[in-house]
Amino acid sequence: MSILQTTVNTQATDYLSNLSAYQTRIETLHGHRREACAGGGERARQRHIDRGRLLPRHRVDALLDPGSPFLEIGQLAGLAMHDGVPPGAGLITGIGLVCGRLCMIIANEATVKGGTYFGITCKKHVRAQMIAWENRLPVITLVDSGGAFLPDQAKIFPDDGDFGSIFYNKVRMSAEGIPQIGVIMGPCTAGGAYIPALCDEIVIVRGKGFMYLGGPELTKAATGEDVDRETLGGARMHSAVSGVTDHIAEDDHHALAITREIVRDLRQPALSRRRIEAPLPPRHDPAEILGIVSRDPKIPTDTTEIVARLVDDSRFQSFKHLYGDTLLCGFARINGFEIGILANKGVLFTESALKAAHFINLCCQRDIPLLFLADVTGFMVGRDAEEAGIAKAGAKMITAMASANVPKFTIVTGGDYGAGYQAMCGRPFKPTAMFAWPNAQAAIMGPEQAANTLAMVQRQIRERDGQRWSEAEEEAFKAPIRREYEEFADAYNFASNLWIDAIISPTETRDVLTLLLDCAARVPAKETRFGVFRM
């Protein structure tokens, strides 16, 4: 492997301007994260504490091994989606260490609308389950939920991926031997009661945890029976009479201690099946990426400089270096884990698409995970490109990428548009995990392209009808289209809708990938069978 050199001047005016602009983006990201961590606001948090309960994020902290990392998934889900609901969709999900074992933790944020489920909450819960399923991670669910948020039933009740899918996934994962552990830390009502009931093992907190399909009020209305919460669905009743729960805890801390004991006694996780070398930091500071990423999306960023700051010792074995040079492909390591990298360096031509297909095939043969660093306007268009078989070459790249059964990770590092978004393992192609940097954008096409395309259509209609269209009128037509596409393409819109798993800082990228590569290394290899390559 060769060492990637750098030409970056950290004192140059352009670098410093980029750095200043990106630091503002990082401050915005941290602001949204603080909003998510605050939960339902000071009054809601205080009411929760006054009831003798740990705050949901304190529960997660107490469950995790002290000082261990926690990779939060979907932290900004639902951002600006529902009035009075902070980012996070009323749910905390993420991967963390419990008794030295990587687990998926799912915790209701009871200070947000009583932990009830919106449509986006269901989507987030299901996404966390799918990550756990693929990586065979034990799932620990800290339940404190009023069930479905009834006004949002169209997005909660009827479809695949809605509330019912949470139940289905729990059953299927349990059937495959993936542990499902439930901890009832507050009221679990209606559909919310089935989330712990479908677990392999359940802990319930005395006097705080309650589980019932219909609470005392509904029971009174339906049957005329007067019954209190403890008698109807408390810890003593469910542990001694119904047998629904397995362990009684005296408070939140005790419940989490019991949960840690359950995890400790699970059968040993699979050992890593990959050869992991001693980790080395990059020779060039990852923090310099903030000054390398162009502040102007119309000015491309040098991907090679980014790779040099992400991989161990800045060592990179380039593949087909002189062929298809608008796509950088090669082998490297991240904290000792081997990985195959595909990083855009411009529009995708026939040669770069063929190179990608060849490289992905190699990685599948060698069982090497793939990392897509996406920053591309799409595939080349025009007569020459079509005659060179760009559609056929692009289909080869997409076939190879979609067929690949090695772990696949996607990070949108810049603009990610059109068929380029799909070919670089966009969300529809089910990457193992997908992230974006704060500057990222993704859409069918760029704002200016969209405005020009729609304006051209409108101009043709007017000319056909004999109407004139002044430059001012055309600009007035284009402006709202640009705004619409800019708002759609923004990374925070993708995070809000869970089209990505999280927005991360460039400086967090190595740590995030390390944790995920460790998860993936403990899962049995899957054979890749490629679809038909059109020749």
Place of tokens 């969300």: 427
d(C-alpha 438, C-alpha 414), whole Å: 9
d(C-alpha 215, C-alpha 261), whole Å: 31
For residue 98, pLDDT beyond 90:
yes
Give the pLDDT confidence of 299-351 residue by residue, as tens digits.
999 999 999 999 999 999 999 999 999 999 999 999 999 999 999 999 999 99
Residues 514 and 420 in one domain: yes
d(C-alpha 379, C-alpha 417), whole Å: 9
d(C-alpha 184, C-alpha 178), whole Å: 20
Domain boundary among 211, 229, 264: 264
CA distances from 148 to 94, 163, 282, 415, 498 (A): 21, 8, 47, 37, 19
- Say if 535 falls within a structural domain: no
The whole-chain average pLDDT of the chain stands at 95
User: Which pLDDT belongs to residue 513?
Assistant: 98
Region 456-484: mean pLDDT is 91
User: Which pLDDT belongs to residue 534?
Assistant: 84
Residues 217 and 303 in one domain: no
**3-state SS class at 404:** coil
Residues 358 and 504 in one domain: yes
Strands (DSSP E) along 345-437, which ranges? 370-376, 408-417, 433-436
HEC states along 260-308? HHHHHCCCCCCCCCCCCCCCCCCCCCHHHHHHHCCCCCCCCCCHHHHHC
For residue 377, pLDDT beyond 90:
yes
Give the pLDDT confidence of 102-114 residue by residue, as tens digits.
999 999 999 999 9
- Structure-token pair, residue 352: 């770069």
DSSP annotation of 73: S
Write the DSSP string, 133-172.
Answer: HHHT--EEEEEEE--B-GGGGGGTSSSTTSHHHHHHHHHH
Region 347-371: mean pLDDT is 97
Region 121-130: mean pLDDT is 98
> Would you say how long the chain is, in residues?
535
Residues 309 and 237 in one domain: no
Residues 359 and 390 in one domain: yes
Give the pLDDT confidence of 19-61 residue by residue, as tens digits.
999 999 999 999 999 999 999 989 999 999 999 999 999 999 9
- Say if 453 falls within a structural domain: no
CA atoms within 13 A on the CB side of 532: 2
Is residue 295 within 8 A of residue 17, CB to CB? The reply is yes
User: Which pLDDT belongs to residue 221?
Assistant: 81
Residues 422 and 340 in one domain: yes
Residues 104 and 199 in one domain: yes
- Say if 30 falls within a structural domain: no
User: Which pLDDT belongs to residue 465?
Assistant: 86
Domain of residue 310: give its range: 286-444+490-521
Comparing C-alpha atoms, which of 282, 332, 335, 328 is closest to residue 309? 282
- Say if 5 falls within a structural domain: no
Main-chain dihedrals φ then ψ at residue 500, nearest 5 degrees: -130, 160
CATH of the domain at 232: 3.90.226.10
Q: Indicate the burial class of 118 (C-beta count within 10 angstroms; 0-12, 13-18, 19 or more).
A: buried
Comparing C-alpha atoms, which of 105, 93, 95, 87 is closest to residue 38? 87
Amino acid sitting at position 246: D
User: Which pLDDT belongs to residue 215?
Assistant: 83
Comparing C-alpha atoms, which of 160, 221, 214 is closest to residue 192? 214
- Structure-token pair, residue 222: 């339906």
Please list the residues that pair with 327 across neighbouring strands: 344
- Say if 26 falls within a structural domain: no
User: Total domain count for the chain?
Assistant: 2
Residues 171 and 85 in one domain: yes
DSSP annotation of 84: T
Confidence of residue 216 (pLDDT cuts 50, 70, 90): confident
Is residue 3 within 8 A of residue 313, CB to CB? The reply is yes
Give the pLDDT confidence of 71-82 residue by residue, as tens digits.
999 999 999 999
Residues 318 and 256 in one domain: no
Residues 163 and 55 in one domain: yes
d(C-alpha 33, C-alpha 518), whole Å: 25
- Structure-token pair, residue 309: 């700051």
For residue 508, pLDDT beyond 90:
yes
- Say if 280 falls within a structural domain: no
Residues 387 and 503 in one domain: yes
Write the DSSP string, 451-475.
Answer: HHHHHHHHHHHHHHTT----HHHHH
Helix, strand, coil percentages (3-state) for the chain, rounded to 5, are 45, 20, 35
Residues 383 and 254 in one domain: no
- Say if 158 falls within a structural domain: yes
User: Which pLDDT belongs to residue 277?
Assistant: 95
Confidence of residue 222 (pLDDT cuts 50, 70, 90): confident
d(C-alpha 377, C-alpha 415), whole Å: 7
How many CB atoms sit inside 10 A of residue 261's CB?
12
- Say if 182 falls within a structural domain: yes
User: Which pLDDT belongs to residue 314?
Assistant: 98
Give the pLDDT confidence of 158-196 residue by residue, as tens digits.
999 999 999 999 999 999 999 999 999 999 988 889 999
- Structure-token pair, residue 193: 């009661």
